[in-house]
Homo-oligomer: A and B are copies of this chain.
């Protein structure tokens, strides 16, 4: 029931890499309809043309799978952002623009967003390493937008708070308790902390 240690993943063969990609694609597609609940492990295995046991060898749980999908999407986002970086004048504006861009991307596929974000916040300790990887990626994206190389402790806390707000605002939006406009306002509000920490520097 508890997770095992991670003894340095062995390199995957080409076919294995292809299988992995196929599983991620199938999972994302199923998430695209129906969200979290529509991602059923048997269906994912079917759609990916792989046995159920194999699916579980690649991703030890549904949450692992969805977190891996999120990591995948975030990497795409990061590439896109590097191609066209946010253009605001100060750090707060750039971070807000970055997050709003990500938010608009999620709005294009709210079901997929639902599956990924719910998995991320529902993950228990057994998925910590994977969730942590996603978190580091998100941090990197925000720090990129801020233009920081060596953040202070204080700035790191601000970034954490921004990420907290980001995740939780998404959750409330996905469950229909907060409007798109409110999410936008929350993002802009929390980005106010960046100026604050710059002043206090």
Contact = CB atoms under 8 A, between A and B. Distances in A.
Interface of A: 36-37, 118, 121-125, 127-128, 131-132, 135, 154, 157-158, 160-161, 163-165, 167-169, 171-172, 175-178, 182, 185-186, 189-190, 192-193, 196
A126 B118 CA distance: 14
A95 to B, nearest CB: 14
Nearest to A121: B121
Contacts of A36: 124
Given A122-B122, A182-B160, A128 B165 contact: no
Contacts of A122: 118, 121-122
Number of copies: 2
A142 B61 CA distance: 37
9 A-B pairs with least C-beta separation: A164-B168, A164-B165, A121-B121, A168-B168, A157-B189, A122-B122, A161-B190, A157-B185, A167-B168
A177 B132 contact: yes
Of listed A118, A122, A132, residue having the most chain B CB within 10 A: A122
A178 B164 CA distance: 12
Contacts of A127: 175
A189 B154 CA distance: 8
A175 B127 CA distance: 9
Nearest to A153: B185
Contacts of A161: 165, 186, 189-190
